[in-house]
């Protein structure tokens, strides 16, 4: 589990078809490297990866075919590109962002970047696999960054976020270009609510031969 608050930037390199090398160095990398251990979870651009080998200035992680298929790590990111890094949250740590699992729902695309005052407004498109979880003022993880949806269309296939200067400069958002691909993860709370509502609806309607206004009113739908 992660918070969506990025701790450091690193660069990504393909070591093998399913093996990635992540390099990070300097004092900015201390939160990642100071007590990194084999088997630890690290979010790399919002993708939860397991540390398989520790390097003097980074680590090596395996990426499953499912991970490569669903995320930008499967060919939609350039060699030596900057990636956002965050280690797993510890018990007792402040939760300044929102609950981020590191399980990417889909890949989005950067559409616009506009300076608004001292912040940036960035808009993205989103695939249907995550669109239903995108709601106005809701939380979303973009490349592992916890952000708030400032605007979106009714379908959720387009959304805008407002990015403060600190987030823009300390993450790889400042390195993105129009058309860049990004990993998107919806709020996990929305997924559980959806599951519970669908289960409840199926259970209610399974024993009803005819849907009438009286039936809907009785079950809170009107």
Rounded mean pLDDT of 7-34? Answer: 92
Taking residue 173's Cβ as centre, other Cβ atoms within 10 Å add up to 24
Same fold for the pair 8-87 and 106-191: yes
pLDDT score recorded for residue 33? 94
What is the residue-averaged pLDDT of the chain? 90
Of all residues in the chain, the percent with pLDDT exceeding 70 is 91
Q: Which residue has the higher pLDDT, 124 or 221?
A: 124
Q: What is the pLDDT of residues 103-143, one digit of tens each?
A: 999 999 999 999 999 999 999 999 999 999 999 999 999 99
Q: What is the pLDDT of residues 83-93, one digit of tens each?
A: 999 999 988 77
pLDDT classification of 199: cutoffs 50, 70, 90: confident
Between 8-17, 45-54, 160-169, 199-208, the lowest mean confidence (pLDDT) is in 199-208
The yes-or-no verdict on residue 210 having pLDDT over 90 is: no
Cβ 87 vs Cβ 80: under 8 Å: no
| Residue spans per domain, the chain | 8-87, 106-191
Q: What is the pLDDT of residues 27-52, one digit of tens each?
A: 889 999 999 999 999 999 999 999 99
Longest dimension (CA), the chain: 68
Taking residue 160's Cβ as centre, other Cβ atoms within 10 Å add up to 18
pLDDT classification of 176: cutoffs 50, 70, 90: very high
pLDDT score recorded for residue 57? 94
Rounded CA gap, 124 and 51, in Å?
Answer: 30
In CATH, what is the architecture of 8-87?
Beta Barrel (2.40)
pLDDT classification of 162: cutoffs 50, 70, 90: very high
CATH number belonging to domain 106-191: 2.40.30.20
């Amino acid at each position: 589990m992660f918070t969506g608050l990025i701790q450091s930037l690193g660069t990504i390199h393909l070591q093998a078809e399913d093996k990635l090398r992540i390099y990070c160095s300097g004092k900015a990398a201390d939160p990642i490297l100071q007590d990194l251990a084999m088997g630890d979870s690290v979010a790399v651009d919002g993708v939860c990866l397991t540390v398989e080998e520790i390097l003097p200035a980074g680590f090596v992680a395996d990426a499953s075919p499912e991970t490569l298929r669903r995320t930008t790590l499967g060919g939609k990111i350039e060699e030596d590109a900057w990636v956002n890094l965050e280690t797993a949250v510890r018990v007792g740590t402040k939760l300044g962002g929102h609950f981020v699992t590191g399980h990417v729902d889909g890949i989005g695309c950067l559409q616009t970047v506009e300076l608004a005052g001292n912040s940036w407004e960035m808009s993205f498109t989103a695939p249907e696999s995550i669109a239903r979880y995108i709601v106005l003022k809701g939380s979303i993880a973009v490349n592992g960054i916890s952000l708030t949806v400032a605007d979106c269309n009714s379908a959720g296939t387009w959304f805008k976020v407002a990015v403060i200067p600190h987030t823009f400069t300390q993450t790889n958002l400042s390195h993105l270009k129009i058309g860049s691909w990004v990993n998107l993860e919806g709020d996990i709370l929305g997924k559980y609510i959806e599951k519970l509502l669908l289960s409840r609806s199926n259970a209610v309607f399974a024993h009803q031969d005819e849907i009438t206004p009286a039936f809907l009113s009785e079950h809170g739908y009107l």
